[in-house]
Amino acid sequence: MAEHASNRPHITRRAMMGSSALFMAGTPLAMSGYASALTAPRAVSGGGELRWNPNPASVGLHGFEGIEADREGRFPDRQYVAVENGEHYRFNIRADDRDSTGGGDRQRTEAKGMVQDGTIQRMHNGEKWTISYEMFMPSTLHGTSKFTHIFQTKTPSTNGGPWVTLDLSRSGSKETLRARAYSTSGAPDIASTDLAPLRNKWISVEWTLTIGSSGAARFVAHDGTDASAKVVADGQLSHVNLPDQGDYVRPKWGIYRSVESASSDIIDTYLLTRKYQAYRIS
Protein backbone atom coordinates (compact mmCIF):
# COMPACT_ATOMS: atom_id res chain seq x y z
CA MET A 1 0.00 0.00 0.00
CA ALA A 2 2.93 2.35 -0.61
CA GLU A 3 0.73 4.62 -2.73
CA HIS A 4 -0.88 5.89 0.50
CA ALA A 5 2.34 6.64 2.38
CA SER A 6 2.30 9.85 4.36
CA ASN A 7 5.37 11.18 2.53
CA ARG A 8 3.47 11.66 -0.74
CA PRO A 9 3.84 15.16 -2.24
CA HIS A 10 1.52 17.61 -0.45
CA ILE A 11 -0.74 20.13 -2.14
CA THR A 12 -0.64 23.58 -0.56
CA ARG A 13 -3.81 25.13 0.89
CA ARG A 14 -3.84 27.67 -1.98
CA ALA A 15 -3.52 24.99 -4.66
CA MET A 16 -6.16 22.87 -2.94
CA MET A 17 -8.72 25.69 -2.98
CA GLY A 18 -7.90 26.51 -6.59
CA SER A 19 -8.52 22.91 -7.58
CA SER A 20 -11.84 22.95 -5.74
CA ALA A 21 -12.96 25.96 -7.74
CA LEU A 22 -12.16 24.16 -10.96
CA PHE A 23 -14.15 21.14 -9.82
CA MET A 24 -17.13 23.36 -9.09
CA ALA A 25 -17.03 24.82 -12.60
CA GLY A 26 -17.57 21.40 -14.13
CA THR A 27 -20.76 19.50 -14.92
CA PRO A 28 -23.03 18.83 -11.92
CA LEU A 29 -23.12 15.25 -10.70
CA ALA A 30 -26.89 14.85 -11.11
CA MET A 31 -26.96 11.38 -9.50
CA SER A 32 -26.16 9.55 -12.74
CA GLY A 33 -23.10 7.58 -13.84
CA TYR A 34 -21.07 7.77 -10.63
CA ALA A 35 -24.03 6.83 -8.45
CA SER A 36 -25.03 3.91 -10.66
CA ALA A 37 -21.48 2.55 -10.56
CA LEU A 38 -21.71 2.04 -6.77
CA THR A 39 -23.51 -0.70 -4.90
CA ALA A 40 -26.24 0.51 -2.55
CA PRO A 41 -25.53 -0.11 1.14
CA ARG A 42 -26.92 -3.38 2.46
CA ALA A 43 -29.12 -1.48 4.90
CA VAL A 44 -31.16 0.10 2.07
CA SER A 45 -32.01 -3.11 0.23
CA GLY A 46 -35.67 -2.48 1.08
CA GLY A 47 -35.70 0.91 -0.59
CA GLY A 48 -34.69 4.50 0.06
CA GLU A 49 -33.90 7.73 -1.76
CA LEU A 50 -30.26 8.46 -2.60
CA ARG A 51 -29.67 12.00 -1.36
CA TRP A 52 -25.86 12.37 -1.35
CA ASN A 53 -23.16 10.77 -3.46
CA PRO A 54 -20.21 13.15 -4.03
CA ASN A 55 -17.76 12.32 -6.80
CA PRO A 56 -14.35 13.64 -5.67
CA ALA A 57 -13.13 14.07 -9.25
CA SER A 58 -16.00 16.35 -10.28
CA VAL A 59 -17.15 18.19 -7.14
CA GLY A 60 -13.99 18.18 -5.02
CA LEU A 61 -14.51 19.62 -1.55
CA HIS A 62 -17.85 21.14 -2.57
CA GLY A 63 -19.48 17.83 -1.69
CA PHE A 64 -19.21 19.07 1.91
CA GLU A 65 -20.57 22.19 3.64
CA GLY A 66 -17.10 23.18 4.75
CA ILE A 67 -13.70 22.26 6.14
CA GLU A 68 -12.53 22.74 9.72
CA ALA A 69 -8.74 22.69 10.00
CA ASP A 70 -6.07 25.14 11.20
CA ARG A 71 -8.79 27.68 11.97
CA GLU A 72 -6.26 30.06 13.53
CA GLY A 73 -4.14 30.04 10.37
CA ARG A 74 -0.96 28.85 12.10
CA PHE A 75 0.24 26.79 9.12
CA PRO A 76 -1.07 28.41 5.91
CA ASP A 77 1.05 26.29 3.58
CA ARG A 78 -0.05 22.94 4.93
CA GLN A 79 -2.47 20.70 3.14
CA TYR A 80 -5.29 19.48 5.38
CA VAL A 81 -8.14 18.13 3.26
CA ALA A 82 -7.95 17.48 -0.48
CA VAL A 83 -8.91 15.13 -3.26
CA GLU A 84 -6.15 12.60 -3.93
CA ASN A 85 -5.71 10.64 -7.16
CA GLY A 86 -9.11 11.91 -8.30
CA GLU A 87 -10.94 9.19 -6.38
CA HIS A 88 -10.79 9.73 -2.62
CA TYR A 89 -10.52 12.38 0.07
CA ARG A 90 -7.42 12.71 2.22
CA PHE A 91 -7.43 14.21 5.74
CA ASN A 92 -3.98 15.10 7.08
CA ILE A 93 -3.10 15.94 10.67
CA ARG A 94 0.27 16.62 12.27
CA ALA A 95 1.57 16.33 15.79
CA ASP A 96 1.86 20.09 16.29
CA ASP A 97 -1.55 21.05 14.87
CA ARG A 98 -3.90 22.69 17.37
CA ASP A 99 -7.57 23.58 17.09
CA SER A 100 -8.98 26.96 18.11
CA THR A 101 -11.19 25.28 20.74
CA GLY A 102 -10.24 23.55 23.97
CA GLY A 103 -7.43 25.86 25.04
CA GLY A 104 -4.82 24.02 22.97
CA ASP A 105 -5.73 20.51 24.12
CA ARG A 106 -7.03 19.15 20.79
CA GLN A 107 -6.55 18.89 17.02
CA ARG A 108 -9.06 18.94 14.20
CA THR A 109 -9.02 18.16 10.48
CA GLU A 110 -12.63 17.60 9.44
CA ALA A 111 -15.09 17.97 6.59
CA LYS A 112 -18.65 18.73 7.65
CA GLY A 113 -22.06 18.18 6.11
CA MET A 114 -23.46 16.72 2.93
CA VAL A 115 -24.02 18.85 -0.21
CA GLN A 116 -25.58 17.47 -3.39
CA ASP A 117 -25.77 19.67 -6.50
CA GLY A 118 -25.40 22.76 -4.31
CA THR A 119 -28.12 21.74 -1.82
CA ILE A 120 -27.35 20.88 1.80
CA GLN A 121 -28.82 17.52 2.82
CA ARG A 122 -30.27 17.86 6.31
CA MET A 123 -31.29 15.11 8.71
CA HIS A 124 -34.35 16.03 10.82
CA ASN A 125 -36.20 14.54 13.76
CA GLY A 126 -38.26 11.50 12.83
CA GLU A 127 -36.22 10.73 9.70
CA LYS A 128 -34.20 7.57 9.13
CA TRP A 129 -30.99 7.73 7.11
CA THR A 130 -28.27 5.30 6.03
CA ILE A 131 -24.80 6.72 5.41
CA SER A 132 -22.10 4.47 3.98
CA TYR A 133 -18.52 5.01 2.86
CA GLU A 134 -15.14 3.32 2.60
CA MET A 135 -12.09 4.35 4.60
CA PHE A 136 -8.39 3.60 4.81
CA MET A 137 -6.61 3.88 8.16
CA PRO A 138 -2.78 3.72 8.07
CA SER A 139 -0.62 2.22 10.79
CA THR A 140 0.22 5.76 11.98
CA LEU A 141 -3.43 6.46 12.91
CA HIS A 142 -3.51 5.23 16.49
CA GLY A 143 -6.15 4.57 19.08
CA THR A 144 -5.74 6.93 22.02
CA SER A 145 -6.57 6.97 25.73
CA LYS A 146 -8.41 10.29 25.33
CA PHE A 147 -10.89 10.99 22.54
CA THR A 148 -10.13 10.42 18.86
CA HIS A 149 -13.22 10.77 16.63
CA ILE A 150 -13.04 9.90 12.93
CA PHE A 151 -16.79 10.47 12.48
CA GLN A 152 -19.23 12.50 14.54
CA THR A 153 -22.72 13.96 14.32
CA LYS A 154 -23.65 17.39 15.67
CA THR A 155 -26.39 20.03 15.48
CA PRO A 156 -24.99 23.17 13.81
CA SER A 157 -27.11 25.95 15.35
CA THR A 158 -26.51 24.85 18.93
CA ASN A 159 -23.15 23.09 18.49
CA GLY A 160 -24.96 20.24 20.23
CA GLY A 161 -23.33 16.85 20.42
CA PRO A 162 -21.40 14.96 19.34
CA TRP A 163 -24.41 12.63 19.35
CA VAL A 164 -22.91 9.48 17.83
CA THR A 165 -19.24 9.02 17.00
CA LEU A 166 -16.76 6.58 15.52
CA ASP A 167 -13.78 6.47 17.86
CA LEU A 168 -10.27 5.04 17.90
CA SER A 169 -9.62 4.06 21.51
CA ARG A 170 -6.73 2.59 23.46
CA SER A 171 -6.59 0.64 26.71
CA GLY A 172 -3.00 -0.37 27.35
CA SER A 173 -1.76 -2.03 24.16
CA LYS A 174 -5.26 -2.82 22.87
CA GLU A 175 -6.70 -0.49 20.24
CA THR A 176 -10.38 -0.54 19.32
CA LEU A 177 -12.67 0.87 16.63
CA ARG A 178 -15.80 1.94 18.54
CA ALA A 179 -19.12 3.24 17.31
CA ARG A 180 -20.58 5.08 20.30
CA ALA A 181 -23.78 6.79 21.38
CA TYR A 182 -21.52 9.50 22.72
CA SER A 183 -24.12 11.87 24.19
CA THR A 184 -26.48 9.17 25.44
CA SER A 185 -26.32 8.38 29.15
CA GLY A 186 -23.20 6.32 29.81
CA ALA A 187 -21.86 6.88 26.25
CA PRO A 188 -22.45 3.20 25.39
CA ASP A 189 -20.86 1.39 22.49
CA ILE A 190 -23.15 0.63 19.56
CA ALA A 191 -20.58 -1.80 18.15
CA SER A 192 -16.81 -2.28 18.46
CA THR A 193 -13.98 -4.37 17.07
CA ASP A 194 -10.19 -4.65 17.18
CA LEU A 195 -8.53 -1.83 15.25
CA ALA A 196 -5.24 -3.49 14.31
CA PRO A 197 -6.58 -5.91 11.63
CA LEU A 198 -8.37 -3.06 9.84
CA ARG A 199 -5.36 -0.89 9.12
CA ASN A 200 -3.60 -0.38 5.78
CA LYS A 201 -6.58 -1.56 3.74
CA TRP A 202 -9.88 -0.19 2.48
CA ILE A 203 -12.82 -1.17 4.67
CA SER A 204 -16.51 -0.26 4.44
CA VAL A 205 -18.81 1.10 7.11
CA GLU A 206 -22.54 1.80 7.30
CA TRP A 207 -24.51 3.94 9.74
CA THR A 208 -28.28 3.76 10.00
CA LEU A 209 -29.56 6.67 12.09
CA THR A 210 -33.05 7.57 13.28
CA ILE A 211 -32.97 11.22 14.26
CA GLY A 212 -34.52 12.41 17.52
CA SER A 213 -33.99 12.76 21.26
CA SER A 214 -35.01 9.11 21.55
CA GLY A 215 -33.63 7.96 18.24
CA ALA A 216 -31.74 4.87 17.16
CA ALA A 217 -28.38 3.96 15.66
CA ARG A 218 -26.90 0.93 13.95
CA PHE A 219 -23.28 0.54 12.88
CA VAL A 220 -21.85 -2.14 10.60
CA ALA A 221 -18.20 -2.50 9.54
CA HIS A 222 -16.84 -4.89 6.92
CA ASP A 223 -13.21 -6.01 6.68
CA GLY A 224 -12.99 -5.11 3.01
CA THR A 225 -15.17 -3.51 0.36
CA ASP A 226 -16.64 -6.25 -1.82
CA ALA A 227 -19.84 -8.21 -1.28
CA SER A 228 -17.99 -11.10 0.37
CA ALA A 229 -16.18 -8.91 2.95
CA LYS A 230 -16.45 -10.24 6.49
CA VAL A 231 -18.61 -8.35 8.98
CA VAL A 232 -16.37 -7.40 11.92
CA ALA A 233 -18.77 -5.16 13.84
CA ASP A 234 -22.56 -5.04 13.83
CA GLY A 235 -24.64 -3.51 16.59
CA GLN A 236 -27.62 -1.28 17.21
CA LEU A 237 -29.12 0.75 20.03
CA SER A 238 -32.49 2.35 20.65
CA HIS A 239 -33.22 5.43 22.80
CA VAL A 240 -30.16 7.16 21.37
CA ASN A 241 -29.90 10.91 21.94
CA LEU A 242 -29.62 12.21 18.38
CA PRO A 243 -31.76 15.39 18.19
CA ASP A 244 -31.95 18.09 15.56
CA GLN A 245 -32.79 20.65 18.30
CA GLY A 246 -34.98 22.56 15.87
CA ASP A 247 -32.20 22.69 13.24
CA TYR A 248 -30.71 19.53 11.69
CA VAL A 249 -28.14 16.85 12.41
CA ARG A 250 -24.89 17.13 10.44
CA PRO A 251 -22.23 14.42 10.02
CA LYS A 252 -18.50 15.18 10.07
CA TRP A 253 -15.52 13.13 8.89
CA GLY A 254 -11.79 13.39 9.50
CA ILE A 255 -9.60 13.31 12.60
CA TYR A 256 -10.55 15.14 15.79
CA ARG A 257 -8.45 14.14 18.77
CA SER A 258 -7.18 15.18 22.18
CA VAL A 259 -3.44 15.78 22.49
CA GLU A 260 -3.57 14.75 26.15
CA SER A 261 -3.01 11.11 25.19
CA ALA A 262 0.47 9.58 25.08
CA SER A 263 2.76 11.52 22.75
CA SER A 264 3.61 8.26 20.98
CA ASP A 265 0.00 8.21 19.71
CA ILE A 266 -0.18 11.88 18.67
CA ILE A 267 1.94 11.67 15.53
CA ASP A 268 1.69 12.82 11.92
CA THR A 269 -0.97 10.76 10.18
CA TYR A 270 -3.94 10.81 7.80
CA LEU A 271 -7.28 9.21 6.94
CA LEU A 272 -8.67 8.41 3.49
CA THR A 273 -12.38 8.17 2.59
CA ARG A 274 -14.32 7.48 -0.60
CA LYS A 275 -17.62 6.27 -2.09
CA TYR A 276 -19.90 8.20 0.21
CA GLN A 277 -23.61 7.49 -0.09
CA ALA A 278 -26.47 8.84 2.03
CA TYR A 279 -30.00 7.50 1.66
CA ARG A 280 -33.09 8.85 3.32
CA ILE A 281 -35.08 5.74 4.19
CA SER A 282 -38.19 7.33 5.69
Residue 36's H or E segment, with its range, is helix 33-36
Q: What's the pLDDT tens digit per position in 244-255?
A: 999 999 999 999
pLDDT value at residue 32: 42
Measured distance CA(248)–CA(100) in Å, rounded: 24
Model confidence at 126: pLDDT above 60: yes
CATH number, domain of 26, equals 2.60.120.200
pLDDT higher at 45 or 280: 280
pLDDT value at residue 38: 59
pLDDT higher at 11 or 44: 44
Total tally of structural domains belonging to the chain: 1
Measured distance CA(108)–CA(274) in Å, rounded: 19
- Give the domain range for residue 264: 2-280
Q: What is the mean pLDDT of the chain?
A: 88
Model confidence at 135: pLDDT above 70: yes
pLDDT value at residue 102: 93
Residue 31: pLDDT band (50, 70, 90) is: very low
Measured distance CA(217)–CA(237) in Å, rounded: 5
